Amino acid sequence: MGQRLAANRSSRARRKGVAAWLVMVVVVLFTAAACAAIPISGPVGKSDPLAPRNNSVNINFQQFAPVEGASPESIISGFIDSGTGINDDYQVARLYLTAGLAQSWAADKRTLVYKNTFSVAPGKEKDSYEVTFDVVSTVDATGVLTPAAANAKETIEMKLVQVGGQWRISETPDGVLLADANFQTLFSPVSLYFYDPTFTYGVPDVRWLTARSSRASTAIVKAMLGGPAPYLKGAVVSAFPSGISLERDSVPVNNGVAKVGLVAQPLLETSVRQRQQMRAQLLVTMQKALNTVTDVQFLADDREVDMGGSSDSVPPMIIDNPVPSTQVALSKNELVNFDGTQISAIANVGPIADLAPSAPAVSYSGKQYAFLSSGGNRIYSVAAGRSPATAISGVALTPPSFAPNGWLWSAEGDGSGTVMAINATNGVKDVTPVVLTVPWLVGRHVTTLRISRDGTRALVISDAGGETQVSVTGIVKAGEAPKELTAPITLPQAGTPTLGVWVGDTSVAVMEPSATLPVAIDVLDLTRDPVSLSELMGIEWLSAGSGVRNVHAQSATELFTLIGNNWEVSTKGLRQASFAG
């Protein structure tokens, strides 16, 4: 039986903000007895959802070279510990490898984030060892983070040989292993912004990039030139020509201006308008990620390219598209508006009480309305001066959701994988819905489908065999009509939520309704850990305007607003209030 070595790691650290990624302020020297992990931690629990992220400074980790006579287990443990050496291209970690492997090992290819500990045990072959750990997440070479399934474990194999009487690793997969606490210190989320197909909205593509402050601008540009993450391909567009690359591996920032030298020919083949769009796309990305950038300058053969004049400028991207402050709701089974203080009838919209409505929705224009029938098999569309008409028919339909372009969406909850959308801009009479069969939803019971405020993504909550999944998928279109939903990314969540809404361009709020039990609304974000809002008894519905402070919880008779960390009754007598979308 092989000896098993456990390596203890520090507890989970709080997320570090983007500013922490960009500025090296403090260098901490560890004593010889110190381990590579930083012993910083914080309580987990209810918190102010709008509190700023912990912007502690980056820490320089100290790595230790292999000692003479070290055992194979110690060599493996030391190698893994040295995975914190991002600032010098993992020079100490390479000392644990044979000379040939030290040259070929690609540390940046993958980052496996593990929880607390790993173990090392002899493998099946001579001088081979298996490293086993609980996986938190995986980050690929482009910075795309994939959360692991609950209780996921992974084992990787390493082989060792003796070199000059000392054990060295001769085979190991590309990439590094990092304890979760160290990962939070060494990586930070950065939103790369791509355009929606109309070149109107900016769509965030969150990447986790390493904290090499001197290389931040270069890493951002290279990631953007590589195009969107897989789940956004086809759903968003980039102003940058496909395949274009940096002329050299550096993007200096001088006096606030990022000087981006691109390969000359593809850059010079672009139009002035396209260059303006390229600039707008990159500038908003860099300004949100770097507080040092005020402008972007493109260079070809070290010469600034023509960007045209003021008449050639393009509108800025709309980021985190705000929603109108008025909600649509039901009062005595009729549609009403609620502006936060007053409840008012909707002019020229006829009675709908006979249809036993639920789950009302309103378009971004405020001119189109929709609601679900009591049996959940029809979605009706209605507008001022227009009688209710069936827009979508199906089985166990999800609450209706409007896209910014006026299309109305729903999904069937029967496991068929059917998603439907219809152009409701001018009414639905004589308009046929587009019907999609989404392969990854077949066999899953969909309870929520909500279109993002940029119109390029959908929040989907589904379950299969008691396992709930909160997903974000890209919407591929042919013109205005949806064509397919991409393979999604999943957001880690606790419990079994069934309802969800968008809160911002990277965040959603989800919950499991209950008329009789305490209910917590969880805010899930692509850039940080989930946050649970204070529990409330008997919450059956939720809505969200722009930001977490505009999340509303709703019981059968009361609508609650978040004030600080507490809920307060905003109004009574409304049912299922909903913001646009």
Do strands 187-195 and 201-210 pair parallel, antiparallel, or not at all (unpaired)? antiparallel
pLDDT of residue 529: 87
Distance in angstroms (rounded) separating the CA atoms of residues 267 and 265: 5
Distance in angstroms (rounded) separating the CA atoms of residues 441 and 436: 11
Report, as an integer, the average pLDDT of 143-147. 92
Strand partners, 6: 119
Residue 211, SS3 per DSSP: coil
Report, as an integer, the average pLDDT of 1-15. 36
Distance in angstroms (rounded) separating the CA atoms of residues 502 and 459: 8
389 has a pLDDT exceeding 80: yes
pLDDT of residue 15: 35
Residue 292, SS3 per DSSP: coil
Report, as an integer, the average pLDDT of 261-279. 96
CB within 8 Å of 278: residues ≥ 6 apart: 239, 240, 270, 298
pLDDT of residue 1: 39
Strand partners, 56: none
CB within 8 Å of 65: residues ≥ 6 apart: 92, 95
Distance in angstroms (rounded) separating the CA atoms of residues 39 and 182: 9
Do strands 176-179 and 110-122 pair parallel, antiparallel, or not at all (unpaired)? parallel
16 — pLDDT class (breaks 50, 70, 90):
very low
DSSP H helices, 27-127, are 72-81, 91-94, 99-104
CB within 8 Å of 271: residues ≥ 6 apart: none
361 has a pLDDT exceeding 60: yes
The per-residue pLDDT for range 282-324, each reduced to its tens digit, is 999 999 998 889 999 999 999 999 999 988 899 999 999 999 9
* Residue 116 near residue 131 (C-beta atoms within 8 A): no
What are residue 365's phi and psi, to 5 degrees?
-75, -15
Distance in angstroms (rounded) separating the CA atoms of residues 134 and 66: 25
261 — pLDDT class (breaks 50, 70, 90):
very high
pLDDT of residue 87: 86
4: enclosing H helix or E strand:
none
The per-residue pLDDT for range 476-493, each reduced to its tens digit, is 999 999 999 999 999 988
Report, as an integer, the average pLDDT of 195-205. 98
Q: Which domains does the chain have, with CATH numbers?
A: 5-187 (no CATH), 188-319 (no CATH), 327-578 (2.120.10.30)
What are residue 323's phi and psi, to 5 degrees?
-105, 150
Widest distance between CA atoms in the chain: 89
pLDDT of residue 33: 33
pLDDT of residue 213: 60
Q: How many CB atoms lie within 10 A of CB 291?
A: 13
* Residue 161 near residue 170 (C-beta atoms within 8 A): yes
The dihedral formed by the CA atoms of 12, 33, 23 and 530, expressed in degrees to the nearest 10: 0
Tokens standing for 58?
């980056």
pLDDT of residue 429: 85
Distance in angstroms (rounded) separating the CA atoms of residues 384 and 365: 13
Residue of 511, 322, 517 lying closest to 404 (CA atoms) = 322
Residue of 248, 247, 262, 245 lying closest to 296 (CA atoms) = 262
Do strands 457-464 and 176-179 pair parallel, antiparallel, or not at all (unpaired)? unpaired
The per-residue pLDDT for range 451-475, each reduced to its tens digit, is 999 999 999 999 999 999 999 999 9
Least confident stretch, 189-198, 211-220, 246-255: 211-220
14 — pLDDT class (breaks 50, 70, 90):
very low
| DSSP symbol at 294 | S
* Residue 408 near residue 391 (C-beta atoms within 8 A): yes
Distance in angstroms (rounded) separating the CA atoms of residues 203 and 200: 10
214 — pLDDT class (breaks 50, 70, 90):
low
Q: How many CB atoms lie within 10 A of CB 44?
A: 12
pLDDT of residue 41: 26
pLDDT of residue 194: 99
The per-residue pLDDT for range 54-87, each reduced to its tens digit, is 433 346 788 999 999 999 999 999 999 999 998 8
37 has a pLDDT exceeding 60: no
* Residue labelled with tokens 């209910």: 519
388 has a pLDDT exceeding 90: yes
pLDDT of residue 212: 63
Give the global pTM: 0.87
* Residue 301 near residue 265 (C-beta atoms within 8 A): no
Distance in angstroms (rounded) separating the CA atoms of residues 397 and 374: 11
25 — pLDDT class (breaks 50, 70, 90):
very low
20 has a pLDDT exceeding 50: no
- How is 365-381 classified by DSSP, letter by letter? TSSEEEEE-TTSSEEEE
For the chain, the average pLDDT equals 89
Report, as an integer, the average pLDDT of 97-119. 96
Total residues found in the chain within this entry? 581
Distance in angstroms (rounded) separating the CA atoms of residues 556 and 538: 8
547 has a pLDDT exceeding 80: yes
* Residue 324 near residue 579 (C-beta atoms within 8 A): yes
